[in-house]
Amino acid sequence: MAFVCNWCTYAGADLAGTSRMEYRPNVRIIKLPCTGRIDPLFIIKAFENGADGVLVSGCHPGDCHYTTGNYHARRRWIGFKNLMEFVGIDMRRLHFSWVSASEAIKWVDLINNVTDEIKRLGPFMEYKGLKENRAEQRKG
Amino acid sequence: MKMKLSNEDISSVRVRQIERISGEDVRKCYQCGNCSGGCPVSFEMEIPPSQVVRFLQLGRVDEVMAANSMWVCVGCLQCYSRCPKGVSVAAMLEALRQTVLRKGEDFEKIKDLPYPFLKKAPQQALVCGFRKFVS
Amino acid sequence: MKIPYYPGCTLNTVAKHFDASARDAAVSMGFEMEELAQWNCCGATFPLTPDNLIGLTAPAKVLSNARKAGDTLTTLCSVCYNVLKRTNKVMKDSKEKRAVVNGFIEEEYDGSLNIIHYLEVLRDRVGFVKVKEAVKRPLKGVKAGCYYGCMLLRPFEDIGIDNAERPTVFEDLLRALGAEVVDFPNKIECCGAHLAMNNEDVVVRLSGNVMTSAVGMGAELIVTSCPLCQYNLEKSQPKVSERTAGYAGVPIAYFTQILGLALGQPVEGLGFEKNATDIMPLLQKKGIV
Amino acid sequence: MPRIGVFVCQCGNNIASTVDTKKVAGEMSKLPGVVFTCDYKFMCSSPGQEMLKQAIKENKLDGVIVSACSPHMHEKTFRKASEAAGLNPYQCEITNIREQCSWVHHDKTRATGTVKSIDLTRMTIERLKRNKPLKKIKIPVRKKALVIGGGIAGIQAALDIAEGGRDVILVEKEPSIGGNMARLSETFPTMDCSQCILTPKMVEAELNERITLYTYSEVEKVDGYIGNFTVQIRRKSKYVDEDRCTGCGECIEKCPFKVESQFELNLTKRKVIYTPFPQSVPNVPVIDAPNCPKIQKDKCGACAIACGPKCIDFKMQDKIVTEEVGAIVVATGYQLMPNERFGEYGYGRIKDVISGMQFERLASSSGPTGGEIRRPSDGKVPQSVVFIQCVGSRDEKKGVSYCSKVCCMYTAKHTMLYSHKVHGGQAYVFYMDIRSGGKRYEEFVRKAIEHDNAMYLRGRVSRVYEKDGRVVVQGADTLSGSQVEIEADMVVLATAIVSREGADTLAQRLGIGYDKDKFYNEYHPKLRPVETVTAGIFLAGTCMGPMDIPESVAQGSAAASKVLALFSADEMAREPITSVVNRATCNACWDCLTACPYSAIERESVKDRQGNIVRWLAKVNEGVCQGCGVCVAACRSKSIDLRGYTDEQVYAAINAF
Ligand SMILES: Cc1cc2nc3c(=O)[nH]c(=O)nc-3n(C[C@H](O)[C@H](O)[C@H](O)COP(=O)(O)OP(=O)(O)OC[C@H]3O[C@@H](n4cnc5c(N)ncnc54)[C@H](O)[C@@H]3O)c2cc1C
Ligand SMILES: Cc1cc2nc3c(=O)[nH]c(=O)nc-3n(C[C@H](O)[C@H](O)[C@H](O)COP(=O)(O)OP(=O)(O)OC[C@H]3O[C@@H](n4cnc5c(N)ncnc54)[C@H](O)[C@@H]3O)c2cc1C
Ligand code: SF4
Ligand code: SF4
Ligand code: SF4
Ligand code: SF4
Ligand code: SF4
Ligand code: SF4
Ligand code: SF4
Ligand code: SF4
């Protein structure tokens, strides 16, 4: 699952489309106004819902449509990475990148590389169960 | 003079070696000529400092190896001090010297040096000179 | 005040009078140059080959010894100053290089020394105002050209003793000693350096430019801070006189000799006789001795 | 139960070739809440849109999904169509199955594309179910503009806005408007005299009744947002009553003290009470307080005695005025890099080494030499002049990395002026490259070389020194490969153009971006070159980077047209993507407030009936909020949410994954 910002990465992915580039089909994009909007819980939720990997991508530092939103995002990740490790998420499943509106090639490479790496790691089981477990618990 | 340039020249491994020894990147130089303008021994050089870099950019190491430039450079760092791109031609010339000296080829034979000089010259001139000219 | 001091090999041999006059002047200014108990040659040139660190071992050895004697190290010769200061910077800034060099010299030196030139001691620790107060024999009427050469100033990022293009430290000192200073274009240009070994022609030309440009601006005396500059200028003197119409030579002296002179030390002890150019006629003419 | 319609587009073959649109539509119809599905060849075509409208009406749809191309393409189209059919436009969402599916997954069996399209559409449906109808935000627009900086760019902007029938306040920090152009002699490429073309414009700006001039003034504080800015301006004390002063100049005449003139770049002196130059607008003198003995120690006062209308007041204080404006144009211009930084060129030490701007003053008929080229040291007419280009420009080490863009041209101009004024004089130019892109610019440079005999040498100068009353220039001519030495009478440095000191402070006050060199950032360098990311604030001229007069003027006009477009409506509509605070749960930790890059969050107090403050709350100013959502992620109590991208919506999409 990929969380991308509307202005840079989403447009970059569009450009990959208009340029008819091909990349691995495993990604599902969720568009947000800015990477600064991304709540760490989104990512945990994504894993719970069966994502094997999560990608977060926005404008390059300094290029943010909202001036400094991506700086906020970046600052947040520092603390956030620790949290992820703490809750047992393999950091190789979580990728952060900057893709600008003109970097279709970077987007394609990114998706391919991330997909391949996650394929190598295999499906992410630890979290997938969580949701069902919880549902069962509730029932039981 | 006519040069025939090829891809091999441009990506010459010998230039990469000079870059590795000197720690400089020849592409950074934009040929402004400031180094040649300020070098105190430019008048004596067969190829002035900025053109040394130019030949290296073109991958023409033979041309600069054949010239006296590296041996007359006094290491005064005026070129580096004023280069707007922060390039040190001094370091590149040092690297060129080193490619010779590291092969064990001396530019100067200690035994040929005149005795009065050896006796009177400041030690630093001797030590420095040996490092520049003797393998 | 005692300050750890590294003389370097030239000051221990052909430039003994540079060393001696500096020590004596220090005493009259109220501090003492304390020679390192153990030292070796610094290598006389800062190696410009970052791929090979062997050239850094000699100066690093000096630094690591000096660190045991204190947190400051003073030098006098411009070249030693340049080599030690730049090596120190490498040892301080680059973790990898530091590890390699320390491995070679079997020491654990971290670049924490403060390398200062004798001129900086006078300027920053003693203060030129104090120097001025201590003057007993002002150099009234002497027009001096201050010759910096290369190694005292460049590269600015590593040395930073003064503005690399418009230095004033030397002039400020000479002014404090009562001299008149003349600015001349070649004061930061090279004298020919180690080409003394095999290219006299170039040395004569470069040193000649330094001297004629100073004299052209009215200098009656050139003051130096480096034994190699001193040597090249003096050695070239006859040839330059021969080649330059209207040029009759100019006395060259170490700044410490001039300092000692102004501080009122006995003229005989200043080692002027060891210089190849004779300063005495000038001093007599100006009524200083 | 929601009533959702799903429209899958084939885009001719663009989508249909790798996505089975029928199947996508079919799968969707199985989802709860989906009451209508179809697939169609071209959804964006008129029949496609008609079909959409029809379906909304017939099926009483309360939500619409169009699975088609990127929302950046046609979101607007479909939202408009939905609105026309009576649906809230924000109940229409787009799934991107073209740029994200069919165009990037070329699987001809249509398996991958179809599966992915189904997933994406399902995620959008779940998200849509949590959508709330939103209304565009309407903001009233105050139809008065503020222009900061009275150089040529600012003057042009102010004149054009006034011409368009709107009021303008022009704030200039110096005693006169005119900026750098007022200093120039003649101007490339047409060589008209700068004062001759500038003065009429300055006077026009003064006389135009729609323009209020605040000279000797600076903007201190800016609050508000597009259409509604509140600006505080400090009007520095001139010690002269502007309204009563007749501009007779008696005071200047009688003032006994002189100091270096900044306007003349220290080439000459001016009085302590002064106008920067004779054509100053307004023609009202100011007292240079730090240098006036009357103000400092109550000695003198000659000017007050001389002044007929008695308008000099030594006790005058600075005033702060507050203005309400709807748009701001920033045109604060440039300054030159201090040449002293280049010790090797001797500027400041060698009198006859001057800057290009000083040369402009020497060549100007209103300058200190009356337009004769005379060197500063001894007033002699120089027989050879060396011009050095790129001083500080393109110099990563001691200067700036960029090219200053105008100096190649003005140096060529200088050589022409020089050759016209000093017959038999020789101009030498050291250059690295000649940058003369522009209409008739290359021809202009060639004329300097071929007609006016300037000697161009390709290379940089290493150093400049004095010798026997002349200036020796030592450099290189890289074309011949030689070291060059020229004994000249004067040296002119084409100094780098840099941003104004304090440009960053002003930018922070305005909330606009600037680059590493402190030039202001345009919204988009190609497509929105005079806008900033902050709505309602526009840029013009050299505050954005080096440029010449034609470009500065074009930008002044462009900014003005943007302002006029903004002012053409009484209200503005904005996308309703803004944050809202949950007043029940906000615990006033102000995490959102510090996080918001636009300072859109305010502190709101809640009072009880007695008027005592009982608690504090965060409040989003919808006019300012740009909808980035940074605050939402910052809030730890989940008390703030972003309309259109609520947590609920995002989680719904994730859950549908
Ligand atoms: C030596 C030289 C020669 C040139 N010759 C030519 C030529 O021949 N032809 C040509 O086309 N171009 C020429 N130019 C370029 C020309 O000068 C500029 O393009 C032009 O002046 C830019 O105008 P501006 O309004 O953007 O900036 P400026 O002229 O710098 O005006 C900015 C104004 O804003 C004011 N200001 C700054 N900050 C504030 C603040 N915070 N608050 C209020 N006011 C503020 C300033 O006081 C100034 O009045 C030359 C430039 C130089 C350096
Ligand atoms: C090889 C190349 C690469 C370039 N790369 C870049 C770049 O990377 N970045 C950049 O900023 N710029 C680039 N440019 C410049 C850029 O192309 C132009 O600046 C820009 O396209 C100009 O747009 P325009 O609208 O002025 O003119 P045009 O693009 O020429 O548009 C004029 C339009 O008017 C129509 N037209 C003409 N006459 C009539 C008529 N009588 N009646 C009705 N219609 C008419 C034409 O059909 C045309 O559609 C490049 C240019 C070239 C040649
Ligand atoms: S000064 Fe630097 S950039 Fe200029 S030619 Fe020499 S090496 Fe190249
Ligand atoms: S270091 Fe060598 S090349 Fe550089 S200026 Fe000095 S002599 Fe010339
Ligand atoms: S709506 Fe988009 S996908 Fe459909 S036909 Fe139009 S351009 Fe193509
Ligand atoms: S009071 Fe000040 S401004 Fe007036 S005349 Fe005296 S010095 Fe000049
Ligand atoms: S004398 Fe008075 S009226 Fe005349 S210019 Fe001066 S201040 Fe204005
Ligand atoms: S415009 Fe010309 S002189 Fe100015 S910085 Fe660019 S290249 Fe150099
Ligand atoms: S959405 Fe962005 S602009 Fe709006 S209040 Fe939140 S942080 Fe500020
Ligand atoms: S971060 Fe949340 S709780 Fe804190 S002030 Fe903002 S809305 Fe209120």
The 10s digit of each residue's pLDDT in B30-80 is 999 999 999 999 999 999 999 999 999 999 999 999 999 999 999 999 999
Test C164 with D468 for CB contact under 8 angstroms: no
In short, whether D272's Cβ falls inside 6 Å of ligand 7 is no
Q: Which of A40-44, D470-474, D481-485 has the lowest mean pLDDT?
A: A40-44
- Backbone torsions φ then ψ of D355, nearest 5 degrees: -90, 165
Residue D469: name the closest of D569, D547, D376 by CA: D376
The full set of domain ranges for chain C reads: 2-118, 133-285
Test C49 with B131 for CB contact under 8 angstroms: no
Residues D159, D342 contacting (CB under 8 angstroms): no
Residue D143: name the closest of D572, D623, D570, D573 by CA: D570
d(CA C266, CA C273): 13
Angle formed by the axes of helices C200-216 and C227-243, to 10°?
80
Q: Is the dihedral of CA D575, D579, D584, D588 positive or negative?
A: negative
Half-sphere exposure of B18 (CA within 13 A, CB side): 29
pLDDT of residue A128 exceeding 70, the answer is no
**Interface check C163 vs D, CB under 8 A:** yes
Whole-number pLDDT of residue A68: 64
Whole-number pLDDT of residue D576: 86
Among D188, D335, D406, residue to substitute to test ligand 1 (most atoms within 8 Å of Cβ):
D406
**Share of residues in chain D with pLDDT > 70 (%):** 100
Class of domain D144-326+545-566: alpha beta
In short, whether D458's Cβ falls inside 6 Å of ligand 8 is no
Q: Where in chain D is the domain with CATH 3.50.50.60?
A: 335-498
Among B29, B41, B56, residue to substitute to test ligand 4 (most atoms within 8 Å of Cβ):
B41
- Backbone torsions φ then ψ of D443, nearest 5 degrees: -60, -35
pLDDT of residue A139 exceeding 60, the answer is no
Q: Is the dihedral of CA C151, C154, C157, C163 positive or negative?
A: positive
Secondary structure (DSSP) of D346-413: TBTTBTTEEEHHHHHHHHSTTSTTTT----TTT-PPPSEEEEEEEESTT-TTTS-SS--SSHHHHHHH
* Set of chain B residues whose Cβ sits within 8 Å of the Cβ of C52: 21, 98
* Set of chain B residues whose Cβ sits within 8 Å of the Cβ of C199: 44, 72
Task: State whether CATH 3.40.50.720 applies to domain D575-656.
Answer: no
Whole-number pLDDT of residue D329: 98
CA distances from residue B2 to B5, D162 in whole angstroms, order as listed: 10, 64
Is there contact between B and D if contact means ≥3 C-beta pairs under 8 Å?
yes
d(CA A100, CA A5): 10
In short, whether D42's Cβ falls inside 6 Å of ligand 5 is yes
Q: Which domains does chain B have, with CATH numbers?
A: 7-103 (1.10.1060.10), 108-135 (no CATH)
Q: From atom 8 of ligand 4, which residue's Cα is the shortest distance away?
A: B39
In short, whether D11's Cβ falls inside 6 Å of ligand 5 is yes
Interface of D with A (CB under 8 A): 70-72, 96, 98-101, 103-107, 112-113, 115-116, 119-120, 123, 513, 533, 577, 595, 597-598, 626-630, 632-634, 642, 645, 647, 650-651, 653-655, 657
Q: Is D346 left (phi over 0), alpha (psi -120 to 50) or beta?
A: left
Q: Which helix (H) or strand (E) holds D488?
A: strand D482-488
247-286 of C, contacting B, C-beta below 8 A: none
pLDDT of residue C11 exceeding 90, the answer is yes
Opening angle at CA C258, ends C252 and C261, nearest 5: 135
Is there contact between D and C if contact means ≥3 C-beta pairs under 8 Å?
yes
Whole-number pLDDT of residue C254: 97
pLDDT of residue A66 exceeding 80, the answer is no
Q: Which CATH number fits domain D335-498: 3.40.309.10, 3.40.50.2300, 3.40.50.1820, 3.50.50.60?
A: 3.50.50.60
What 3-state DSSP class applies to D90? helix
Query: pTM of the prediction?
Result: 0.81
Q: β-pairing, D63-68 with D186-187?
A: unpaired
d(CA D207, CA C147): 62
Place of tokens 């939720």: A45
Q: Where in chain D is the domain with CATH 3.30.70.3270?
A: 575-656
Please name the residue ranges forming H helices in chain C: 9-12, 16-29, 54-69, 78-93, 95-105, 118-120, 128-134, 169-176, 200-216, 227-243, 255-262, 280-285
Q: Is the dihedral of CA A30, A31, A35, A38 positive or negative?
A: negative
Q: What is the mean pLDDT of residues D221-234?
A: 91
Q: What is the mean pLDDT of residues D40-59?
A: 92
Q: What is the mean pLDDT of residues A52-62?
A: 82
Residues A66, A38 contacting (CB under 8 angstroms): no
The 10s digit of each residue's pLDDT in D343-368 is 999 999 999 999 999 999 999 999 99
Taking one residue from B and the other from C, the number of pairs with CB-CB distance under 8 angstroms is 135
Which ligand sits closest to the CA of D640? 10
Assign a CATH topology to domain C2-118: Glutathione S-transferase Yfyf (Class Pi); Chain A, domain 2 (1.20.1050)
Assign a CATH topology to domain D4-129: Rossmann fold (3.40.50)
Whole-number pLDDT of residue A140: 46
| Model ipTM value | 0.82
- What dotted CATH number matches C133-285? 3.40.50.11810
**Share of residues in chain D with pLDDT > 90 (%):** 75
* Contacts for D549 with CB less than 8 Å, ≥ 6 apart: D152, D181, D187
Q: Which of D344, D432, D483 sits opposite B32 (nearest CB)?
A: D432
Residue B53: name the closest of B35, B77, B40 by CA: B35
pLDDT of residue A74 exceeding 80, the answer is no
Which ligand sits closest to the CA of D643? 9
